[in-house]
Amino acid sequence: MTVNPTGTLYGVGLGPGDPDLVTLKAARILKTAPVIAHFRKKGRAGHAWTIAAPHLNGDASEAAFEYPVTTEIDFREDAYVDAIRDFYTASAQAIMQHLAEGRDVALLCEGDPFFYGSFLHMYDRIRSAYPVRVVPGITGMSGCWTAAAAPITYGDDILMVLPGTLDGAALASHLRTADAAVIMKVGHNIDKIKRALHDAGRAADAIYVERGTMQGERVVPLAELEDCAVPYFSIILLPGGRGRRIA
Ligand SMILES: C[S@@+](CC[C@H](N)C(=O)[O-])C[C@H]1O[C@@H](n2cnc3c(N)ncnc32)[C@H](O)[C@@H]1O
């Protein structure tokens, strides 16, 4: 009796947005994988899909998993946790069905798969049952500090990466001690983040980057950002280097 080999799940890091920042390895997998899987917001093409599109050959089948909720329910509420848990479990089952039938699956990941990505929920559910390989990507924050021409760490600077979802007091307390910081997941947390930077006395140094390296990129000092809603793909940078530059 011959046993069919199973497929491999590839977590493919796509970099910060510019398709030219996709690695050669990622591009090769995107060209050859029989199934391309990705997460997206309902009714959207999906950021990851848009980044990967120039590298796809059109022959693969697409497995699109649409988030049942994004920001309309607070992520700490039971209703959010239940909906998203069921969604990730169903998505993992759909991926494993392909793997069981011997097809490799490339799961698209913005930035780096091991850095705050939805991929991690698939990794946790699938890795004990099927082979999983991860292709690292340039992180969004790296693309953003390059877009802002803002060297982020000098000498022995300590860089803190803070999710904007933390509460304001926690954000301010971390920001007081950070030499350099990156605040991720800005979106609807923007007002709280601005207050925390102000409370920590760091608002004047902060840089706002929206859609770094993508079409529509915008870089402005945070102090010049008008009061309005900001998109999910935005980040705040607090460059280091204070007192550490060797002239
Ligand atoms: C769930 S995290 C995913 C991070 C991703 N895995 C990475 O390696 O960058 C999403 C957050 O990353 C930040 N981000 C990622 N790419 C970005 C970009 N090109 N421009 C601005 N922010 C970005 C935003 O703060 C966004 O809310």
Cβ of 11 less than 6 Å from ligand 1: no
Contact 191, 198 (CB under 8 A): no
Q: Which two tokens stand for residue 151?
A: 């060297």
The Cβ of residue 184 has, within 10 Å, a number of other Cβ atoms equal to 21
Give pLDDT, residue 74: 67
From 51, 70, 71, 141, the mutation candidate for ligand 1 (largest count of ligand atoms within 8 A of CB) is 141
| DSSP class per residue in 46-64 | -HHHHHHGGG--S-SEEEE
In a domain, 118, yes or no: yes
DSSP assignment, residue 71?
A: S
| Whether residue 79 is found in the same domain as residue 171 | no
Number of domains in the chain: 2
Rounded distance, CA 226 to CA 233, Å?
A: 17
In this prediction, residue 108 carries a pLDDT of 98
Q: Is the CB of 116 under 6 A from ligand 1?
A: yes
Predicted confidence at residue 4, as pLDDT, reads: 65
Same domain as 32, residue 133? yes
**What is the CA(139)–ligand 1 centre distance, in A?**
7
CA of 90 to the centre of ligand 1 (A): 24
Looking at 122, 138, 154, which one is the last position of a domain?
A: 138
On the question of pLDDT at 247 being above 70, the answer is no
Q: Is residue 51 located within the same domain as residue 85?
A: yes
The identity of residue 225, as a single letter, is L
* Residue 1 covered by a domain: no
169 or 1: which carries more pLDDT confidence? 169
pLDDT in tens, 185-236: 999 999 999 999 999 999 999 999 999 999 999 999 999 998 888 998 999 9
Name the β-bridge partners of 36. Answer: 62, 106
Q: Under a CB-based contact definition with an 8 Å cutoff, are residues 116 and 92 in contact?
A: no
88 lines ligand 1 (CB under 6 A): no
Alpha helix positions (H), 33-148:
47-52, 78-100, 119-126, 140-147
Q: How far is the CA of 67 from the centre of ligand 1 (A)?
A: 17
DSSP state of 210: E
List the residue whose alpha carbon is closest to atom 27 of ligand 1. Answer: 185
- Tell me: the pLDDT tens digits for 205-219? 999 999 999 999 999
How far does residue 246's CA lie from ligand 1's centre (Å)? Answer: 31
108 forms bridges with which residues in the sheet?
Answer: 12
CA proximity to 147, closest of 52, 242, 235, 245:
235
Same-domain status, 192 and 231 = yes
Q: What is the pLDDT of residue 69?
A: 76
Predicted local distance difference test score (pLDDT) of residue 45? 86
- Using one digit for the tens of pLDDT, what is the confidence trace for 65-94? 999 876 666 667 777 788 899 999 999 999
Q: Is 212 in the pocket of ligand 1 (CB under 6 A)?
A: yes
How many Å apart are CA 110 and CA 70, to the nearest integer? Answer: 16
CA of 233 to the centre of ligand 1 (A): 6
Report the C-alpha gap between 194 and 15 in whole angstroms. Answer: 27
Instruction: Please give the distance, rounded to the nearest whole angstrom, from the Cα atom of residue 179 to the centre of ligand 1.
Output: 21
Q: With respect to residue 84, please indicate whether it lies within any of the assigned structural domains.
A: yes
What pLDDT sits at residue 43?
Answer: 87
74 and 127 share one domain: yes
Q: Residue 22 is part of which domain span? A: 9-138
Same domain? 80 vs 97: yes
Ligand 1 proximity of 139 Cβ (cutoff 6 Å): yes
Residue 160: strand pairing partners: 181
pLDDT at 8 over 70: yes
Binding site membership of 194 for ligand 1 (Cβ less than 6 Å): no
Same domain, 88 and 107: yes
Q: Which structure tokens are listed for 146?
A: 């390059």
